[in-house]
């Protein structure tokens, strides 16, 4: 039986929250819950899946906006790269600069490392550290699906004018950590539609001719 993979827009900035689950174990991982915790849990219930972990691709407030509430409602742990801890701890202040409210700042139960293979909810995720959008930004690979957060978008790349951003570092991450993967790998960004590495290699204006 194939894994469940659903994408739903959450929070005020319409972050793609990704639900990946194993129908055999009946468990699921919630990636980048931007908000709307009850909506996420309702959908998991419809899918007959129980969440076991929250993993975020990076620490910007819009991607972690639903973490604290999900933790409160379920008791499940929150994992993220150590280098983005400062973003999590300052998430309420960052949200305020956008004129947006932010609830409780979530605690981090565990940090994840480049190259780790996370065995959670009956699934395996490879952690690929891709700094540039944020210092601790990661992509999560599960089979041929690559959850790229805000590192890469369909036709664009992550912005680097926010705290911790570095354009040269982002381009290096894309070149050495993502474009070395197969063209058929499916990319699921933190905002907007999904794409493939092959499509972005051929047509993304930020990548064509850049290397």
* CATH number of the domain within which 110 lies: 3.60.15.10
Number of structural domains the chain divides into:
1
Q: Is 210 domain-assigned?
A: no
* Confidence check: pLDDT of 40 > 60: yes
Q: Is 49 domain-assigned?
A: yes
pLDDT-based confidence at residue 210 (cuts at 50, 70, 90)? low
Q: For the segment 80-120, what is each residue's pLDDT rounded down to a tens digit?
A: 999 999 999 999 999 999 999 999 999 999 999 999 999 99
Q: What is the pLDDT of residue 1?
A: 55
Domain with 112 in it: 4-203
Q: Is 211 domain-assigned?
A: no
Q: Is 69 domain-assigned?
A: yes
Cα(115)–Cα(54) distance, integer angstroms: 18
Q: Is 112 domain-assigned?
A: yes
Residues of the chain by 3-state class (helix, strand, coil), percent to 5 = 25, 30, 45
Q: Is 36 domain-assigned?
A: yes
Q: For the segment 3-28, what is each residue's pLDDT rounded down to a tens digit?
A: 999 999 999 999 999 999 999 999 99
Q: Is 208 domain-assigned?
A: no
Cα(124)–Cα(119) distance, integer angstroms: 5
């Amino acid at each position: 039986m194939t894994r469940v993979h659903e994408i739903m827009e959450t929070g005020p900035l319409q972050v793609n929250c990704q639900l990946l689950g194993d129908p055999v174990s009946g468990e699921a991982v919630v990636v980048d819950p931007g908000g709307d915790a009850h909506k996420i849990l309702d959908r998991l219930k419809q899918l007959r899946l129980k969440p076991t972990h929250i993993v975020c691709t990076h620490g910007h407030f819009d991607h972690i906006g639903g973490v604290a509430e999900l933790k409160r409602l379920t008791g499940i742990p929150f994992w993220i790269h150590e280098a983005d801890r400062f973003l999590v701890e300052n998430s309420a202040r960052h949200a305020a600069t956008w004129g947006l409210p932010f609830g409780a700042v979530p605690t981090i139960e565990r940090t994840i490392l480049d190259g780790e293979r996370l065995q959670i909810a009956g699934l395996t995720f490879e952690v690929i550290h891709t700094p540039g959008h944020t210092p601790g930004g990661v992509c999560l690979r599960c089979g041929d699906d690559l959850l790229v957060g805000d590192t890469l978008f369909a036709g664009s790349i992550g912005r680097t004018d926010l705290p911790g951003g570095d354009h040269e570092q982002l381009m290096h991450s894309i070149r050495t950590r993502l474009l070395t993967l197969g063209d058929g790998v499916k990319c699921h960004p933190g905002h907007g539609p999904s794409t493939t590495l092959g499509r972005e290699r051929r047509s993304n204006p930020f990548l064509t001719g850049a290397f």
